[in-house]
Chain A
Amino acid sequence: MPSVTIKAPMESQDASTATAAASHSLITFLQSQSQNMLTRLYQKPSACLSLFRLLRPLERQLVMNLLWLDLSIPPSTMAAWVTREGKKPYQDALGTLARLHILPPSAAKLALNPTFKSGLRQAITGGGTSGSFGVLAENDEKHPAPEIEALDAYALERWETILYYMVSSGTGQFPAKPSAGVLFLLERSGLMASVHGGALQITSAGFQFLLHPPHVQLWELLLQYLQMAEERQMDLVEVISFLLMLSTTELGKDYSTEKLSATQKAMLEDLRDYGLIKQRTGSIGIPKATSRRFSPTRLATTLTSSSPPLPTSAGSGDGTHAQGFIVLETNYRLYAYTDNPLQIAVLNLFVTLKSRFPNLVIGAITRESVKKALANGITADQIISYLVTHAHPQMRRNKPLLPVTVQDQIRLWELEKNRMKSQEGYLYTAFASQADYEYVLNYAKQLDVVLWENASRRCFFGSLEGHANIRGFIERRQTAGNA
């Protein structure tokens, strides 16, 4: 049974990362929403623009090709735009756009959803009266807009608090706790679970989450938030359009809360906890006295772009180099130039750490350390991709980037774990005669449900799906034989 419980979240995780590579997770989420809701969402130019950015390149180009056409065009004309290699991606793109109700499928005439068309046109040409790109607060002498550095530090502190809390749960340390809302979200998303009603413990999904790039992490949490919003009777359109609006705002500017709806004002508090926005609050304990202005942080403004959503991690040098700090050698030794507790804690998931210096951690990737990670539900590919994305600039000169021996060995260790595969099914034994046995076995083979057979013992093992058929078959045979 344990193998089943671990496997289920892993599979769903794999599926979601696979679709993320193809299509953004928000797009996948929206595809399951009703047309009514999407049309309401498309009324905001900022939402149109942000969604447009989340589409895949070919989808974007198709939308742009159609955007300025007033007439609808026959599908055959559109199909002529793509080259022969583009046929398959083109069909995929049409499918996605149709599910998003941006380009309703039609056999005769194709045209963009009029709401989306006017929304995106307005976003590009400007004008209109929607005010959907955020209303700037007037300059205030007393409270100037926060510095970009201050915003970055704030976002980083918030975000790392969440991650560090996750990674150090169950290790006996007690780091700063994120707010109750965040904890609830973590529990709901299955990243953490409370064991026997006790403190929250990180789950295997949570371990995988830690190794994802920050963008994916952020969207994973936000999607969970969207699902929660539905249950909390919040208007999903308002929630999504606010998130998309934030992604079009500018870093280091103050925005006014006056034009926001009640739902969106309620969201401000949650987003503050995640570090997406910064808002001056009144004295502690009086939540009502919040400022009427808020400033989006880099986490929010880069929601729909691929530039790094977090500034440098504390203490690892200047901006552009912050991503890379790991040096991995062919002898499995790993040097991490960091003093960030979060990064060290994450490394500790799959590395045996040996020594620590003020700016350097030395460890080794061993069979035990990797097996521990695998037992936590982390996959070999996730370890490798984490090492690749955080490789030190010096490592970037190597081709391939990571030593091949180490990569292969990590994969081999994973294979070791997968030597056994469990499958549920039924064992059919005690056949009266060899003829009987072969007759039933043949039938089962035709259904392609036989997993194992042993002719000398007259038994075979069939999968779960085939059981009803096989049973029916045997019963029919028996009644026919009796009659």
Chain B
Amino acid sequence: MDKPSHLSVILDLSPTQWALCAQSTNPPGISLQAFLSQLLAFFNAHIACKDENTLAVFGALPGQSVLLYSSTGEVVAKDTEPTDPNTYRPFKTLDATVMNSLAEHIASFDGVSEEAPIGLVGCLTKALCYINRVTSNSSTPSSEGEGSAASVDPRILVLSVSPDQSSTYIPIMNSIFSAQKLRVTIDVCKIYGAENVFLQQAAHLTGGAYVQVEKPDALLQYMMMSFLPPPALRQLISVPTQDRVDFRAACFCHKRIVEIGFVCSVCLSIFCQPVPVCSTCRTKFPIKTLQRLNASRPLAISASTPGTPARPPAQRNGTATPATPRPG
């Protein structure tokens, strides 16, 4: 049970959202600076738990995703200052490396590509690739007696401040499936902003915790209690899970988040309105079915705006599909 665990952290570093978060008073926000100092303490705590614990930190910046730190040493801090005897060396290196590479990347763009959406998906896939490499490396030589995949307990923690981007629905879903396959737990910590539908689903489907932070001052305590215990320990320690999960999906045609969608019976693509030809697999649907479906559509659907629809009742059974068009 006491085996090393790997943690990949994904930081949402959207400048706009952090600015909003720092100014926000209701609900109370937190500045990036304060957030980082609490985060570093959390990192140190993770390493402190076990000498063999590993850590990778990814930054989701507008339009790009970067590796900020990894225990395997891909990122090295430029200036190695003399160590002081009051600090445990690995902590010092970790903190310095994260801060340096963060400062470097933030300095490298000044509002040029401000409007680009953050590279959350890029981070997720990079984190999964990293985990895949770490687990497959460690499994070959040192497997301790029994199975190899069990030698590290990988998990991903997403610290999010940005709202959902409905255009990323498909890649996020694909990442979730790969995470399930790799047996990676995805934890989500929503520091600022409304609930994030896709990340909620990610946490739910991989058995992770989803925490909406209400008091950002106590962020460290939230993280210690919910995200520090490795998956093996969560059988004993309860971590917050959601009782209501928003299972809405985004349609493939307009990337809207839909409550009622229309699913291609061949390839399971989701559409917000009945279509004569499936855009993914080119299946043609009979005109009669289309008419019937159009007639049965509730009127509210067409009026719903993309991005922030009204919160629907929690659904437990996935996307609601009132009727499925059948190809000829």
Contacts and interface: CB of A to CB of B under 8 A. Distances in A.
A72 to B, nearest CB: 15
Interface in B151-189: none
Contact of B236 (A90, A130, A132, A136): A90
A46 interface: yes
A61 B229 contact: yes
Interface string A95-138: 00000000000000000000000000011111111111111100
Contacts of B41: 124-125
A379 interface: no
Contacts of A282: none
Interface in B25-64: 41, 44-45, 48-52
A150 B1 CA distance: 34
B19 interface: no
A367 interface: no
A26 to B, nearest CB: 15
B108 interface: no
A133 B50 contact: no
Contacts of B92: 126
B243 to A, nearest CB: 16
A320 B141 contact: yes
Contacts of A86: 235-238
B86 A320 contact: no
Contact of A302 (B48, B51, B91, B232): B51
A57 B86 contact: no
Given A65-B224, A67-B224, A396-B143, A85 B235 contact: yes
A133 B89 CA distance: 8
A61 B233 contact: yes
A228 interface: no
Contacts of B83: 136
Interface residues of B, number: 38
A83 B45 contact: no
A324 to B, nearest CB: 9
B141 A58 contact: no
A130 B86 contact: yes
B150 interface: no
A19 interface: no
A464 interface: no
Interface in B186-227: 220-221, 224-225
Contacts of B86: 45, 122, 126-133
B220 to A, nearest CB: 5
A21 to B, nearest CB: 10
Given A69-B221, A133-B87, A321-B141, A124 B45 contact: yes
A58 B143 contact: no
A306 interface: yes
A90 B89 CA distance: 32
Bin chain A's interface residue count.
35 or more
B113 interface: no
Contacts of A131: 85-86
Contacts of A57: 1-2, 49, 229-230, 232-233
B48 A49 contact: yes
A401 B236 contact: no
B92 to A, nearest CB: 7
Interface-centre pick from A49, A123, A130, A388 (highest chain B CB count, 10 A)? A123
Nearest to A89: B236
Contacts of A305: 50-52
Interface string B78-102: 0000110111110110010000000
Contacts of B235: 83, 85-86
B87 A83 contact: no
B87 to A, nearest CB: 4
A225 B290 CA distance: 84
A114 to B, nearest CB: 18
Q: Which of A122, A129, A306, A321 has the most CB of B within 10 A?
A: A306
A409 to B, nearest CB: 21
A53 B53 CA distance: 11
A74 interface: no
Interface in B1-27: 1-2, 4
21 contacts: A53-B48, A57-B49, A58-B233, A61-B233, A64-B45, A82-B238, A83-B236, A83-B237, A85-B235, A86-B236, A86-B237, A126-B86, A126-B87, A126-B92, A130-B86, A133-B85, A133-B87, A248-B88, A306-B4, A306-B51, A393-B141
Given A52-B48, A133-B88, 18 more contacts: A58-B236, A64-B228, A67-B224, A68-B220, A68-B221, A81-B237, A81-B238, A83-B235, A83-B237, A83-B238, A89-B236, A122-B86, A124-B44, A124-B48, A125-B44, A302-B51, A305-B52, A306-B4
In the A-B complex, the 8 residue pairs with the closest CB atoms: A305-B51, A86-B236, A126-B87, A320-B141, A131-B85, A135-B85, A124-B44, A128-B86
